[in-house]
Every structure is written in C-alpha cells, then in structure tokens.
Structure 1
Amino acid sequence: MSKKEVFRNEDALLDINDRPTLPHWLLLSIQHLFTMFGATVLVPLLIGLNPSIALFCSGVGTIVYLLCTKAKIPAYLGSSFAFIMTMQVLMKNYGYPAVGQGAIAAGLVYVIVSLIVGKFGSSWVDKLLPPVVVGPIIIVIGLSLATTAANDAMMNNSNYDLKFFGVAIFTLLITIIFNIFLRGFPSMIPVLLGIIGGYILAVIVGIVDFTAMVEAKWFTLPSFDVMFVNYDFKWYPAAILGMAPIALVTMTEHMGHIMVLNKLTKRNFFKDPGLNRTLLGDGLSSVIAGFAGGPPTTSYGENIGVLAMSKVHSVWVIGGAAFFAIVFSFCGKVSALIQSIPNPVIGGISFLLFGMIASNGLQILVDNKVNYSLKRNLVITSVILVVGVGGTYLQLGNFQLTSIALATVFGIVLNLVLPKYAFSER
C-alpha cells in the first residue's frame, strides 16, 4: 500500500471517514441517539441532576472527543455509571458544587495520564493486554450488561411482567429480522426500526405513558449549574478525593471499549490517533460536564453495539448524534418522547447489542488462535470471565473497583506473573 492510499475496512457499509447522504445521515444519527438516551438521562435522574444538562454534556463531550482524536474514532460519550454511588453521597451531603468538582477532578486525572502517555508512549498496552486478556475482557464488557438487559425486558417496578417480556421478545425478533433480511440502507438502521416497531407494540398494549410528553414545552432552556457562576466558590476535598481515584478505574473500561472498536474497525487506535488522544478527549468531556452541571462522561457500550450490528462506523454519524443530543436538550417534547420509550423495548434491543459486543471478544480469541490446551491461557480466561460476569467488585470506603475493572486488573496481573511456558499442554 502506498503512502497516499488510505486503509478502508471493506466489511463496513460505511467506514470511518465515509459521509452518508443527508437523509441517511439523519436516520443513522437518530439511531445512535435513541440507543444511548435512556442510560444517559438515567444517571442524572438517580443522582438528582437535570437530565437535559446531561444530554447536552454528552453531545458537547462527544464533539470534543472527536476533535481530540482527529475524527478517527467512532465513539459516543454518555453519562458514566461508575461514579453514581459517590455522586449520590456528595449530592446528599454537599449539593451539586461538590459533584461538579469531583467530575472536573476525574476528568483532569484523564488529562494528566494522557500527557504521561503522550510523553512515554503506549507500547506497553500490547504487553499488558495480549489477545488472551483482551478477548475475555471484551466478552465481560458485553455480558456484564446482560442483567440490565434482562431486567429491562422483564421487570415492571421490581415485579415480573409477562406483557413487558412479550414486548421485549417482539422487539428482539423484529430487530433480528431487520438485521438479517433487509438490504440497502434499511439494513443500516435495524436498531432504529426495531425500536420503532417495539414502541408501536408497546403503545398498543398500553405500557407507554404520554403524560410527560403532553406536559413538556417545545423549547426549554436547561438550568445549567455553571461552576463558579451559580455558586460561591468553595473547595470540596471529599469530592475530589472521592471521585478522582475512580477515574483510574474507568480508564480500564475506556481501554476495553477502544479494544472493541479496534476489532470492529480493523484498526489500532492505541497507535493512531494514540491512547493519549482518546484519554484526553474523554477527560476534557468530563471536565466540561463538571463545569456545566452534568455527570462525568464515558464511551458507551450500547453505541458500540450499534456499530457492530449496522456496520456503519462513520464518525459523521456519531457527530450527527452528538449534534441532535445538543438540540434535543433544548426541546422538551422530543426529549420527553425519547424518554417515553419503555424499558422492555430497550431491553429487547439490548439482548442483541450487548451480545454482539461479547461476540467480538470471542472472535478475537478465534482470530488470534489462542490455545486453550495451555493451562496458562485457561487460567487467565477463567478468572476474567467469572470475576467480570459475576459482578465481583472491591469496595474500600466510597471507592469501588467495578467488576469490569477488577477483571481487567486480574487479567493483566495473571498475564504478567504466570510463566509463558511453565504450563504444559493438558
């Protein structure tokens, strides 16, 4: 390949730099917006923040991320779940200024680490994360979300609901049909079509509440809690010390998502545009969110699942989703409409999206011919899977090492300490 030639992933219907036509661009971006919307607004609702601000911050943060990564990585950033427990405590004891300072501190940790990586390089990533570690971690990223998908599909206010389950299965089945049998442009939007079909059935069976949409105004200005403007400045050491260390944990999930994207797009984003740029984009996004009144942000597995299913990897589509997130944060009725999508519809879609993430982990193991007749590989994979999928976590005060992060740490340590050739074939 000559220097002038640009690599293109032939498996993708739209590769990273491909720009869709305007109508297609609109629908593909809306598909990503619908997919991430529920989780992004759920985090602020659980904490007591303004959901519209979180939606706005996710859009702005994604655009900042695209700029920092030279528009080379198709990743969408939404509200991070990793900080929920700490933010709930901070909101109860101190209010938003503390949460904002914590979000800024967490983002600055990313920025500092990005500068270190930029100085000393990221060649260590390949040594710490070989296929026998990467594959199982990606499987864990997908399967760790399985319980969330199942609960969305079955549970109505903590009670099993057969009607919910029926809507979820219907949504799953029609999405599978759309994904396999549609051709041309419709084959790129199976998730959007599945959500629409599931939503229609949900309306028919009476599980959609239109109250919020009827009462919402067309134009609403989010009440931004701007740091240093809405509040008299005061330091909150508990917030900084409570949230900054968690950023070191979410970095492992960040790298896990980059691994998945590497596999999907047949590229190495750790080298180009570089891990330092991906960390910088993620960190600046959280810093901006902290100043504006939103929660810290992170890349979203749901949107990676959409990339895997639709085979549309265009950063133009991701940028479009970010643009619409910003616009819809000011449009009360549209936000309320998307929020009215019931959990079983999201659950049915998630069965497929999260499973596809896990399947990409399996494919890494297959493509790299990881030999499981070697006990070393078997031990590493076994520990990662059980710790990660089982939901094991480490709790030290307000600091929590999540199951994905803990599984990643175990995988890295075992890969470093277990002798390469000490374990003979079974």
Structure 2
Amino acid sequence: MEQEFRNEEVVLDIHDKPQPLQWLGLSLQHLFTMFGATVLVPILVGIDPGIALLSSGIGTLVHMAITKGKIPAYLGSSFAYITAMKLLNQSSGYEAIAQGAIATGLIYVIVSLLVKKFGANWIDKILPPVVVGPVIMVIGLGLAANTANQAMYDHNVYSPKFIVVALITLAVTLFFNMYLKGFLGLIPILLGIIVGYVVALAFGIVDVEPIKQAAWLSLPNFEVPYVNYHPTLHLGAILTMAPIAFVTMTEHLGHLMVLNKLTKRDFFKDPGLSRTIMGDGVAQMTAGLIGGPPVTTYGENIGVLAITRVHSVYVIGGAAVLAILLGFVGKITALIHSIPNPVIAGVSFILFGVIASSGLKIIVDNKIDFDKKRNLLIVSVILVVGIGGLTFNFGALALEGMALATIFGVLMNAILPQVAKSEE
C-alpha cells in the first residue's frame, strides 16, 4: 500500500489532528475570519444571518464529505449573487432566492458530470477572461448606488450623522487593511464592522432593544421552504441566478490553484476537479434548501492556512461545527441584525470595489487587447447591460442585469469573429 504524502514544511498537514484545546483555538480563527463576510451577505440581502451561518457550516461539511476530506476549504456566503438575491427578495421573496440558490448548485453538478466525461478545457472556451473579467466588475458595481444610499439616508431622509458613521467605518477598515499583520490582517472587515458599530452606538443610531429581548438559544428563522411555503416555480429567479454560477466557477478554479501550491498537492487530480465542483454544487443546493445564500470557497480562510501553516481538515471541520452552533445563538443573530446601514455601507465601499477591481485585474493580467474591436465590444456591452440593470420581462419570466450581462457575454464570445472586417 502506497504511503500517503505528507508535507513536512507545515505545522499540521491535511490529515493531522490537533490536540483538543489547540483544535478549538485554530477553528475559532477560521470562524472569525469568515464571520464578517458570511453574515454581511444576508444582511445586505435581507436573510436571517443565523441561517447563513448554518448553511455555511453545513455546506463546508458537505463539501468536505464529497471531496473525501482531502481539501482544507471553508465555504461561506457568496458575494457574487448579492445583487440578484436582493432584487429577488424585493420582488418575489425568500422562495425565489431558495430556488435560485438550488439552481446554481444544480449547474455546478451538471458541469461536474461534464468535466468528468469531457475534461475541463471547454469551460475556458465558454468563459474566457474577456467575459469573466467584466462580469465580475458588474457583480461588484451592481450595488454601488444602493450602498451610497445606505450611507446617506435614514428612512429616505438625508442624514449627515449616517455619512459620518459610514466614513469613519470606511477609514478604520482602510487602516486595518493597510497596517495590520498576521491573523488580525486577515479580519480587517470584521474589525471595521466592530469599530463602526461602536461609533454608531455613540451616535445613537443603534436599536439595542431586540438584542435585550432575544433569547440566548433559538432556532434560526427558517423562511424557506418549511414555513408558509407555497410550491410555486420561480423560473425568473432561476434564470437570473443560474448564469452567475458559471462565473463563480472561475473563482473555484482559482482557489484550487492556490491550495495546490500551498499544500504541495494536485487537487485537480485527487480528488479530481469533477468532485470538487460537485462538492461546491451540492453545498449550494443544501444552502438553498435551508433558506440561506449560495456558498463558495473563501479566499480569506485560505489566507489563514498560508499564515498559520495549519492545513488540517479537522480544523476546518471544527470551524464549520462552531458556525452551525452559532446559528442557534439568538443573541448573536439579534446583534448582527442591529448593525445599522451606514456601518454596512462603510465596509461595502471597500468590499464591492474590491470585487469590481478583481474583475479589472483579470482583464489586465490576461492582457486583453482593447484595440481589437471584438474585445472592446464584448466588455462594453457586458458593463452597460449589467450595471444599467437591463431587464427582459416575459410574463412571469424576468431576466435582469447581471444574468443578462453574463448571457450576452457568452453569446457574443461565441458569435463575434476574432477579427472585424475593418481590421483585416
């Protein structure tokens, strides 16, 4: 029997089990690292943060099971779907978001089966950098106006107090990003929210009564599909969120590449790309069934692996269990709900901007030539359709901004010739 490879350069390798107290401390680090981003998504969308913590923990364990416990990856709430989920929550409610989340997971499962049979080269042909880059920019910029309004308006009334709190939150988060090192350097968003919350308390814009009234232990608010559920097919929601799955797959591939280098393994071969994509997909479907946002692997937690040199899947699994337990702490959920809009806006200025900049980085890194009309047209149409919020309504079916931008990008990439007639 061939002996399993062990990376001797790390403190704990993938299948090394830490001592109990060490285990708890290391898992808490991962919990704190993912916490700020994971609960920020449901706050922005209008979903119970307790559900998001629950779906994050369960999704991570599901991914771990499907990948045979070979990949130290933590899954948290995905930012890619925020714009779509927020619009769906306003127009169709939780049921639509749940069906959209299940649909994105199903896309992953289908792609996983195709990768197993045909390989992965076709993904690059459908989603080259000239399409993926601007679509990611749309994801980041899609809520820019909404974020600015959160920083300015208190119930539609212009509020200088809100702006000050938002700008202070922004400033301290920028400071933490630039000057903190080590573990603290991995949680600048969480620290920014904490400082912003304290400032908001000082300005008297936090309602603490719900925190006082909340029970310590309580069930998360399972809105979908178990309470007041009426089985209606939200085809528009499915078609709005499903195309975004193709974009988040590129993020999945990027994280795997980083993990390969970090752990000195090749996860594309073992457990195999088809199995890792399947793990992400089933985790997303599970999140949708629970009523949470779609989940995705977190780069922040990969950063923790790099700094601590602790790559143990037991530590990741421990963080997942802690997240599940935290979802049942009513005081925590109430505390998260009490974070005021200007604090969320302050950190969102950075978060959404970073997402948009990541899309721009893809374009720059891949040296997309904008002197070629084909590239210029693809990027231009994606940006305006996505950020402008173009909508196609066909009765109950609606395709909106980001979904249309992705579809337009894929179609233009497939149809437009490599060289325009005027360039020959």
Instruction: Tell me, yes or no, whether TM beats 0.5.
Output: yes
CA distance in 1, matches of 2:305, 2:177: 8
Report the counterpart of residue 297 of structure 1 in structure 2.
294
1:341-385 residue CA offsets vs partner (Å, 9 max, x unmatched): 212111111111111122222222222222222222211111111
Q: Which amino acid aligns with 2:327?
A: S
Report the counterpart of residue 346 of structure 2 in structure 1.
348
CA shift, 1:38, in A, is 3.8
CA distance in 2, matches of 1:286, 1:178: 31
Moved more, 120-129 or 394-403: 394-403
Of 116, 132, 136, which residue of structure 1 is paired with 2:114? Answer: 116
Q: Which amino acid aligns with 2:372?
A: L
Alpha-carbon spacing, 1:185–1:64, altered in 2? closer, same or farther (3 Å): same
CA contact (8 A) 1:387 1:403 kept: yes
CA shift, 1:123, in A, is 1.2
CA distance in 2, matches of 1:257, 1:202: 34
Report the counterpart of residue 71 of structure 2 in structure 1.
71
Alpha-carbon spacing, 1:356–1:375, altered in 2? closer, same or farther (3 Å): same
**1:382 aligns to 2:388 (yes or no):** no
Of 35, 38, 53, which residue of structure 1 is paired with 2:37? Answer: 35
CA contact (8 A) 2:39 2:336 kept: yes
Of 55, 58, 64, which residue of structure 2 is paired with 1:57? Answer: 55
CA shift, 1:197, in A, is 1.3
Matches within 5 A, 1:187-336: 187-222=185-220, 236=231, 238-239=232-233, 245-246=239-240, 248-255=242-249, 257-258=251-252, 261=255, 276-277=274-275, 279-289=277-287, 291-292=289-290, 294-295=291-292, 297-299=294-296, 322-336=320-334
Q: Sequence identity, in percent? A: 44
Alpha-carbon spacing, 1:378–1:325, altered in 2? closer, same or farther (3 Å): same
Report the counterpart of residue 28 of structure 2 in structure 1.
26
1:264-293 residue CA offsets vs partner (Å, 9 max, x unmatched): 87989988876644553344234434554x
Report the counterpart of residue 397 of structure 2 in structure 1.
399
SS in structure 1 at match of 2:398: strand
CA distance in 1, matches of 2:312, 2:156: 38
Report the counterpart of residue 182 of structure 2 in structure 1.
184
Unaligned stretches of 5+ residues in structure 2: none
CA contact (8 A) 1:106 1:246 kept: no
Q: Which amino acid aligns with 1:297?
A: P
CA distance in 1, matches of 2:14, 2:398: 35
CA shift, 1:337, in A, is 1.5
CA shift, 1:321, in A, is 5.6
CA contact (8 A) 2:135 2:359 kept: yes
CA shift, 1:331, in A, is 0.8
SS in structure 2 at match of 1:76: strand
Alpha-carbon spacing, 1:160–1:28, altered in 2? closer, same or farther (3 Å): farther
Q: Normalization by structure 2: what TM-score?
A: 0.76
CA distance in 2, matches of 1:263, 1:304: 12
Matches within 5 A, 1:67-146: 67-68=65-66, 70-71=70-71, 75-77=75-77, 82=84, 107-108=105-106, 110-146=108-144
CA shift, 1:144, in A, is 1.6
Alpha-carbon spacing, 1:194–1:341, altered in 2? closer, same or farther (3 Å): same
CA contact (8 A) 2:75 2:295 kept: no
Alpha-carbon spacing, 1:308–1:30, altered in 2? closer, same or farther (3 Å): closer
Q: Which amino acid aligns with 2:39?
A: F
CA contact (8 A) 1:61 1:297 kept: no
CA distance in 1, matches of 2:355, 2:307: 15
Q: How many aligned residue pairs are there?
A: 403
CA contact (8 A) 1:140 1:388 kept: yes
Alpha-carbon spacing, 1:416–1:72, altered in 2? closer, same or farther (3 Å): farther
CA distance in 2, matches of 1:153, 1:226: 30
CA shift, 1:162, in A, is 1.5
Report the counterpart of residue 153 of structure 2 in structure 1.
155
CA distance in 2, matches of 1:311, 1:137: 29
SS in structure 1 at match of 2:389: coil
Q: Normalization by structure 1: what TM-score?
A: 0.75
**1:421 aligns to 2:415 (yes or no):** no
CA contact (8 A) 2:41 2:77 kept: no
SS in structure 1 at match of 2:71: coil
Alpha-carbon spacing, 1:370–1:312, altered in 2? closer, same or farther (3 Å): farther
SS in structure 2 at match of 1:400: strand
CA shift, 1:214, in A, is 0.4
Q: Which amino acid aligns with 1:39?
A: V
CA distance in 1, matches of 2:253, 2:116: 19
CA shift, 1:5, in A, is 10
